[in-house]
Amino acid sequence: MGVQMHEDRYGVVSTSWTPAGTAAGPRTASQTTQMLGLKTSDVILRVDPPSTTAGLAVISGRVSAADTLEVMFGNFSTGALTSASGTYRVHVFRAENVRDSVMAALD
């Protein structure tokens, strides 16, 4: 995600994934997949599925444990839905220089 030390980093990484189905809605459901290199301090800004599924949305993403991406899906239909399998693009922010970032925000 970069080569400089102690610099905040932003990157877009990809993972191949086949999510399980989401029960009949409306409801939300979280699912996890392995994504090597993620740290628990990383912030997931956005998760882009390979295609859209009518009535189903990616609500949020987070790192639930080291190397583990958790994605919350929202099913806004009355039937069970499954998100498309394929390559998911994940937008990640990693704060490397936390002290300086906090101090700058407070000034």
CA distance 78 to 14: 30
Per residue in 62-93, pLDDT (tens digit) is 999 999 999 999 999 999 999 999 999 999 99
Q: Count of CB atoms within 10 A of residue 90's CB?
A: 23
pLDDT at position 96: 79
Instruction: Give the tens place of pLDDT for each residue, 43-54.
Output: 999 999 999 999
Nearest to 86 by CA among 60, 57, 51: 51
